[in-house]
């Protein structure tokens, strides 16, 4: 093995090593690898923050929005107003909220978290998620990530939704159950599928682990994921959670598509 190969092998293991670094050790680690903005690469003051340019480019979502899916509205509406899609076909979840509109900039943040080179950014994203969905977090009894199929988990080594759920659970009183749901079918990538095709793609893909069924009765679950595209995945997870006894299901994601939902 050449010196370069040795360095590459070390660099490949770095993300996992970084997540294992304790808070106490972080200061000295930062001296070796100073924190960089995950979007621009600019060195910044605090671990996991964003450079000013990146901050300005991101499109933060806020009220007014659809009372169910969180789709932003251009005009003020009365409380409880639904978007046309939710009004015509109400999703199985009660409320979904996201921090950013999904565009090239927020996509870059999500991909860097998902593909492992900036897993250290998860607690910062979780902080923004907590602010964007304070009411959902406050009312949650149980918090759980949308799961990956085990084959995908082996390939990726971690579930990005679980990385976000962990710090979110520390910000509220909800019980964290990382393996509440399991993905029993390895669905093909949903990349360019329409809303209807996505719904078919995820139908029957999730199950509540039987050992947790009793703990769901009458409780409000908060699902965590990285991106809301059409809501098909969150809707299917919510459907199985309700069928297993959950009283209500909310969802929180880093980003959401704000254009037509197929």
Residue closer to Zn ion by CB (options 68, 249) is: 68
Whether 53 and 40 have beta carbons less than 8 Å apart is answered as yes
Here's the x/- map for Zn ion, 234-253, by CB under 5 A: it reads as --------------------
Interface of this chain with Zn ion, residues 151 to 170, rule: CB under 5 A: none
Beta-sheet strands, E only, within the chain: 95-101, 142-145, 175-176, 181-183, 206-208, 220-228, 248-256
Shortest Cβ 75–Zn ion spacing (Å): 15
- Which one among 44, 50, 54, 68 touches Zn ion, defined by CB under 5 A? 68
Please, which residues have CB within 8 angstroms of residue 82's CB and are 6 or more apart in sequence?
Answer: 66, 67, 68, 90
Interface of this chain with Zn ion, residues 75 to 94, rule: CB under 5 A: 83, 86
Shortest Cβ 83–Zn ion spacing (Å): 3
Shortest Cβ 141–Zn ion spacing (Å): 24
Q: Does residue 61 touch Zn ion according to CB under 5 A? A: no
Q: Which stretch binds Zn ion (CB under 5 A): 27-35, 65-73, 218-226, 239-247?
A: 65-73
Count of residues engaged in binding Zn ion, rule: CB under 5 A: 6
Q: Which stretch binds Zn ion (CB under 5 A): 58-66, 100-108, 111-119, 200-208?
A: 58-66
Q: Does residue 232 touch Zn ion according to CB under 5 A? A: no
Cis before 64? omega within 30: yes
Q: Does residue 69 touch Zn ion according to CB under 5 A? A: yes
Shortest Cβ 153–Zn ion spacing (Å): 30
Distances (CA, A) of 49 to 26, 56, 127, 177, 240: 14, 13, 11, 28, 36
Return the SS3 of 156.
helix
Please, which residues have CB within 8 angstroms of residue 31's CB and are 6 or more apart in sequence?
Answer: none
**What stretch of H or E contains 33?**
none
**What stretch of H or E contains 241?**
helix 232-243
Can you give the binding site for Zn ion, defined by CB under 5 A?
Answer: 66, 68-69, 71, 83, 86
């Amino acid at each position: 093995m050449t010196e370069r190969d040795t360095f590459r092998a070390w660099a490949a293991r770095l993300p996992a090593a970084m997540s294992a670094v304790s808070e106490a050790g972080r200061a000295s680690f930062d001296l070796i690898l100073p924190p960089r903005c995950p979007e621009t690469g600019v060195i910044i003051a605090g671990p996991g923050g964003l450079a000013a340019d990146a901050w300005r480019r991101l499109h933060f979502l806020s009220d007014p929005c659809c009372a169910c899916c969180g789709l932003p509205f251009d005009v003020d509406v009365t409380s409880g107003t639904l978007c046309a899609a939710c009004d015509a076909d109400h999703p199985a979840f009660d409320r979904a909220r996201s921090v950013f509109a999904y565009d090239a900039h927020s996509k870059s943040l999500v991909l860097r978290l998902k593909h492992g080179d900036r897993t250290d950014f998860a607690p910062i994203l979780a902080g923004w998620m907590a602010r964007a969905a304070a009411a959902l977090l406050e009312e949650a009894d149980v918090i759980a990530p949308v799961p990956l199929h085990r084959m995908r988990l082996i390939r990726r080594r971690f579930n990005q939704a679980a990385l976000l759920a962990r710090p979110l659970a520390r910000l509220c009183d909800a019980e964290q159950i990382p393996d509440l749901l399991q993905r029993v079918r390895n669905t093909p990538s949903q990349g360019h599928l329409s809303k209807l095709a996505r719904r078919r793609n995820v139908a029957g893909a999730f199950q509540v682990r039987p050992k947790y069924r009793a703990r769901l009765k009458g409780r409000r679950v908060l699902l965590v994921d990285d991106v809301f595209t059409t809501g098909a995945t969150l809707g299917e997870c919510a459907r199985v959670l309700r069928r297993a006894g959950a009283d209500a299901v909310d969802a929180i994601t880093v980003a959401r598509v704000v254009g037509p939902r197929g």
